[in-house]
Each structure stands twice: as C-alpha cells, then as structure tokens.
Amino acid sequence: MNLSIEGASILFDDCPQKLWGIRLANGTRDDTTTKELIGLLDEYRSYGVNTITTFFMGCRESAYDPFSPDGRQIDDDHARRMRSLAQALEDRGTVLVAGIFYQNAPIGLTDRSAVENAIRTATRTFAGFGNVIINVVNEHNSSGWAKHGCYPFQDPDEIIHLCRIAKEEGVIRTRKVACRLPSDAGKLSRSSLAQHPTCEEHNDIFHTGCQHCPHGGRLSGFGRRPGRAVLSARDETV
C-alpha cells in the first residue's frame, strides 16, 4: 500500500479515497492493548473503517512519554508496537494516523531541540511503511499546552515548523511516510490549522487533531458509529 496526494485528494495506490477512521489514542500503551486492537482490525474493516489513529503519548486517562529527554531515542518496546500496528494495518490496506505530542502527557523533553528530535525519531519509526500519516500535535490550540515550556506548541508557525521537519524526515529517511504541508501554510491561522483528513473538501495529509473543518467542509463519517461493535472516534481505549 502506498499513500500519495493529488491536488486535495488522498490516494491509496493511486486511487482516491475518503478516510473514515477511529481514534484509539492509547492503542500502543502495552503489548496486551496493541494485540487486542490488532485483533479487532478485521471487524472494523468489515464496517468500512479504513483509518486508525493512535498516539505515541496516549490519551487523557492513559498518557505517557516514550521519548528520551533529548528526543533522540524512543522506548524500544513502544516503537515495536507502533510498527506492528502499522504492519497489521498495511496488510489490510488501512491507514495509520500516528500522533506524536499530546498535551496531557507527562512530556519530559528538555527543550526545543529535543522536541524537533522527537519528531525525527517518531517519523523514522515508520521507515519502509507506505500507509502512515503523521499528526505532529494534538489540538495545538488547547490551553493544556501552556504548562509545557519545552516548545511553543500553541503557535501556529511553530506547528508548521514541526510539520516541515516531519516532511523532510519522511522524504529523506523513509521515502514512503505520507507528508504534506497545506498550500497556504504561510497564511494559516490557529483555526485554519485544524484541518482533519476526513473533510470532503480539504483532505490535507497534515492535521493537528481537530475533528472539525474550519472551511465548512462536511466530515465523511468521522465520529459516526458504523456498527455496534465498532468504537466511535471519541473512544480512546480498546
């Protein structure tokens, strides 16, 4: 499977597709959770789900920081679980949206350079995969970021800077991780940064975790429950 972009559309193996996903933010917190999530993928797929979102730093009730203080290393077991999930999804023709920073996590990165290094480290984790979208920061406009002095996460220009690092790393290191900056990146406001890939009018590959499109586009399925056995987009545990 190989993700690519043509205009405003996301393509799976050169065929335009709409992303319809489930957010399972702590899906790689431990081996048991990841195994259970992988065991549910076929059922999710049977309902038309083609995208799973999980975060390197988990969710509100299950948050963690797998990076070293300088951002140059990641916990080996956590990286292994991320790759195993990416592989299981790729085997099923399904996308992984891999989120990196979460505002309620106990972030231990020491400074700006460490944050930039963590972006590179996270992107390298998916070397060789063609089904991964990088979500650099969850809800950058959340007040929860104020307590993290290692980086100005609430500044839209600084988020774009991190996107560019991920894009460069994806091209140089992996060549297959899907990375794209919006064409109006230099003009983005705090609200216009929040473009979700399920928006039918703005399928930008990069987004910051917001579930609403500021451009008025209609979300195609994100947040709807396609079947009783399928978790909604707001469910964060498996």
| Domain range summary for the chain, segments of one domain joined by + | 20-187
Q: Residues 80, 122: contact at Cβ < 8 Å? A: no
Are the beta carbons of 219 and 199 closer than 8 angstroms? yes
Q: Which CATH class is domain 20-187?
A: alpha beta
Single pTM value for the model? 0.73
Mean pLDDT, the chain, rounded, equals 78
Pairing of β 58-59 and β 95-101: unpaired
Q: Return the pLDDT at 46.
A: 96
Which SS3 state, helix, strand or coil, does residue 211 take? coil
Residue-wise pLDDT for 144-180, tens only, equals: 999 999 999 999 999 999 999 999 987 654 434 444 4
Q: Show the beta-strand stretches assigned E in the chain.
A: 3-6, 9-12, 15-17, 21-23, 51-55, 58-59, 62-63, 95-101, 132-137
Q: Are the C-beta atoms of 140 and 212 separated by less than 8 Å? A: no
Q: What are phi and psi of 199, to 5 degrees?
A: -65, 130
Rounded alpha-carbon distances, angstroms, from residue 139 to 27, 135, 149, 156, 180: 19, 10, 17, 11, 18
Give the residue among 143, 140, 147 at the shortest CA–CA distance from 191.
140
Spatial contact of 9 and 203, defined as CB atoms under 8 Å apart: yes
**What tens digit of pLDDT does each residue of 184-225 get?**
444 433 333 333 333 333 333 333 333 333 333 333 333 322
* Mean pLDDT on 23-35: 96
Kindly report, residue by residue over 64-101, the tens digit of the pLDDT.
999 999 999 999 999 999 999 999 999 999 999 999 99
pLDDT band, very low/low/confident/very high, at 3 (cuts 50, 70, 90): confident
